[in-house]
Amino acid sequence: MSNESMIEVSNLTKRYAGHTAVSNISFTVGRGEIVGLLGTNGAGKSTTMRILSCYMPATSGTVRVAGFDVFTQADEVRRRIGYMPENNPLHPEMRVREYLKFRARLKGLSGKHCRERVDKVIEQCALTDVSRKIIAHLSKGYRQRVGLADALVHEPELIILDEPTIGLDPNQIRSVRQLIKDLAKNHTVLISTHILPEVEMTCSRVLILHEGKILAADTPDNLQKLMSNSSQVIAEIAAPRAELEQLWEQMPEIEYSDISPAEGDFHRCALTPRNGTDVRPQIFAMVQQRGWIMRELTRSRFSLEDIYVRVTRPNGEEEG
Amino acid sequence: MRAYLTLIRRELAGFFVSLTGYIIIAAAVFLMGLSFVMLLTKLQGDPTPLPITQLFYSTDCFWLILILAAPVITMRLFALERHTGTFETLMTTPISDLQVVLAKFSAALIFYMLMWLPLLGCIFILSRYTNNPGIMDTGLLGSTFLGIFLLGGVFMSLGCFASALSRSQIIAAMLSLSFGFTLFVLSFLASQLPVNNGWQTEVLSHFALIDQMNDFARGVVDTRSVVFYVSTTVLFLFLTLRVVESRRWN
């Protein structure tokens, strides 16, 4: 089978009684990629991942992981993937090392190799300090790392993580993300999330799923370029409001302006330039010329969040 | 095979890290002690030709223990894992559904046999204080424990099936309690019906667990009941396997 693609999904459909969770999606993931599945709750992310991890079958379509069919060659596939389900279920009564050892044995590791791998993932996921603790007593961040360690313990080629940072505090999120990034050096990673910065920061490619369909699939940068035609410039200037309004109206590059008062004498102006031109140098020159004081001048790039909201918004609700 | 043993170990550990295991054993020991006391009172009267194991069995605590312990032992096997979601991590490892079902059943059965061990203690104490050496007849003890084991298999597989059906441990326990109790009532009915009452009696007689277990306690190993117990166990394990597999049906 082809060596370059790790996951090949073609025309995958999954119907539950009454509704269609995933409808006729196709995508491929190459070896060594980090791909983010992005979507609202109920968009079909978990369903797709469950099918990929051989937990349940597809209604129709084929899914191959590392060249093996997930339905007919489930054992081969399972050996090659490390899967961390949503909410990261663990056995709370077990100790960290004991749990990882148990999981490693289930995955077919034994003896010395098993011990070595458990030691390795404990180190890799920074669990050394808590390796003797009972899982129920760990913080959520640590528990999440135990889940990751479990997914890694048998050196899978593909790692599937369903919402790996859900419910963590910002510091924990950062450390889990860093960990995922480090993994990408040796593994193919598929993560799902509805937190956009996560995808922006970690993934090399994004698939946006909505109501069981793939709406967009590209690199985060490319998706942003698509949107950059309508970026905004924010300027905070100390000047009378009327003069500001007049100024923006005189500038032909500015299509639309919105002025709101900020603290002190300052006004916050949100400016939408025509055709995506960068108007910052002109604004700076104008302000300097008039002797006003400016304390902020930024161009806000559309984040994936905006792209996502656009893409998933029901038709006919477009706004500027 | 290694995965199977690993799972058994984990399941057994599951009984002992929580209080469940100890409580079940304590309750069973309490009931055994009760029947031991009842037995001693009985023995103070007239001498009896019945073997000691049969006397034990006739105190009826045996059924109480079996019917109550089976749901409590088995309820968590599948229901808990499905509730917490660990079933998903379990079923995405390269381990077959059959191995999972067998491992859980074996663990329950092993725990169940451990629970019965104190009975040996009771019998040992009795043999110390009587001058009848025949009281510790190994054949008799063997057949009694074989009966306990086989009947345990039936009830544990019933419990596995009930547990696989539900995500809630309570519902699983209720289901297996009602399955077990139905089986008990059937066998009670069988022992109450007059002999030679047509085909109904014939059919019911095969469900006469009470009489069959009495035979085991008497030292009689009847192949018919052995076959019946083993096949019922296999049937319910098969049904459990089908339930576990059913998530893969379209």
- What average pLDDT does range B181-187 have in this prediction? 88
Choosing from A226, A259, A285, the residue where a domain stops is A226
CA neighbor of A136 nearest in space, from A89, A171, A82, A86 = A89
Is the pLDDT reported for residue A320 higher than 50?
A: no
State how far the Cα of B31 lies from the Cα of A73, in Å rounded to an integer. Answer: 50
Q: Is A55 on the interface with B (CB under 8 A)?
A: yes
Q: What's the pLDDT tens digit per position in B44-72?
A: 777 777 777 887 888 778 888 999 999 99
> Looking at beta carbons, which residues of chain B come within 8 Å of A83?
89, 92
Does residue A198 sit in the same domain as residue A248?
no
The count of structural domains within chain A is: 2
Decide if pLDDT at A317 tops 50: no
Do A10 and A137 lie in one domain? The reply is yes
Helices (H), A107-240: 111-124, 140-152, 170-183, 196-202, 220-227
Give the burial string for A35-74 (b: 16+ CB within 10 Å, else e).
bbbbbeeebbbbbbbbbbbbbbbbbebebbbbebbbbebb
SS3 track for A101-116: HHHHHHCCCCHHHHHH
Residues in contact with B62: Cβ distance below 8 Å, sequence separation at least 6, in sequence order: B35, B56, B213
Tell how far CA A150 is from the center of its chain. Answer: 21
CB contact under 8 A, B250 and A110: no
What integer pLDDT is reported at residue A5 of this predicted model? Answer: 85
How near does any CA of chain B get to the CA of A51, in Å? 10
Which residue from A54, A105, A110 is facing B92, i.e. has the nearest CB? Answer: A54
pLDDT in tens, A25-54: 999 998 888 898 888 777 888 899 999 998
Domain match, A60 and A198 both: yes
**Cβ contacts of B6 on chain A, cutoff 8 Å:** 102, 105-106
Same domain, A142 and A171: yes
Whether residue A154 is found in the same domain as residue A202: yes
> Does one domain contain both A240 and A205?
no
pLDDT of residue B153: 95
Residue A39 belongs to domain spanning = 5-226
Contact A107 B2 (CB under 8 A): no
For residue A202, what pLDDT is reported? 80
| Confidence check: pLDDT of B103 > 50 | yes
Q: How confident is the model at residue B195 (pLDDT cuts 50, 70, 90)?
A: low
pLDDT band at A306 (very low <50, low <70, confident <90, very high): low
Query: A171 burial class (0-12, 13-18, 19+ CB within 10 angstroms)?
Result: exposed
Report pLDDT digits (tens) over A108-146: 888 899 999 999 999 988 899 999 999 999 988 889 889
For residue B96, list chain A residues with Cβ-Cβ distance below 8 A. 75
Mean predicted lDDT score pLDDT of chain B: 87
**Complete DSSP assignment for A6-64:** EEEEEEEEEEETTEEEEEEEEEEEETT-EEEEE--TTSSHHHHHHHHTTSS--SEEEEE
Question: Which strands, in side-by-side order, build the sheet including A266-273?
Answer: A254-261, A266-273, A232-238, A293-300
The reply to whether A205 and A254 lie within a common domain is no
**A116 has a chain B CB within 8 A of its CB:** no
Contact A106 B17 (CB under 8 A): no
Q: Which residues of A114-123 are buried (b: 16+ CB within 10 A; e: fewer)?
A: beebbeebbe
Interface contact B85-A93, CB threshold 8 A: no
In a domain, A159, yes or no: yes
Q: Enter the DSSP assignment of B240.
A: H
- Are A233 and A273 spatial neighbours (Cβ–Cβ below 8 Å)? yes
In this complex, which of B10, B84, B96 lies closest to A89 when CB atoms are compared?
B84
Nearest residue of A to residue B87, measured between CA atoms: A89
Q: If pLDDT is split at 50, 70 and 90, which confidence band does B109 have?
A: very high
CATH number of the domain residue A143 falls in: 3.40.50.300
Q: Quick one: closest CA in A to B248, which residue?
A: A56
Cβ contacts of B14 on chain A, cutoff 8 Å = 91, 93
Residues A110 and A175 in one domain: yes
**In this complex, do A106 and B250 lie within 8 Å of one another by their Cβ atoms?**
no
Q: What are the distances in angstroms from CA B12 to CA A89, A101, A239, B20? A: 20, 16, 76, 11
Co-location of A148 and A289 in the same domain: no
Segment A236-245, tens digit of pLDDT? 888 888 888 8
Q: Are residues A156 and A122 in the same domain?
A: yes
Query: Which of A13, A20, A46, A55 to mutate: most B Cβ within 10 Å?
Result: A55
pLDDT at B1 over 70: yes
Clarify whether residues A95 and A219 are in a common domain: yes
Could you tell me the two tokens for B63?
Answer: 């059924």
CA distances from B77 to B30, B95, B115 (A): 25, 16, 17
- CB pair distance less than 8 Å for B92 and A110: no
CB < 8 Å to A86, chain B: 85
Determine the Cα–Cα distance for residues B208 and A116; give it in Å rounded to an integer: 55
Least confident of A160-174, A299-313, B76-90: A299-313
| Min Cα separation B247/chain A (Å) | 6
Are A278 and A138 in the same domain? no
Domain boundaries of chain B, sorted by first residue? 2-248
In this complex, which of A56, A78, A150 lies closest to B94 when CB atoms are compared?
A: A78
CB spacing of A89 vs B86 below 8 angstroms: yes
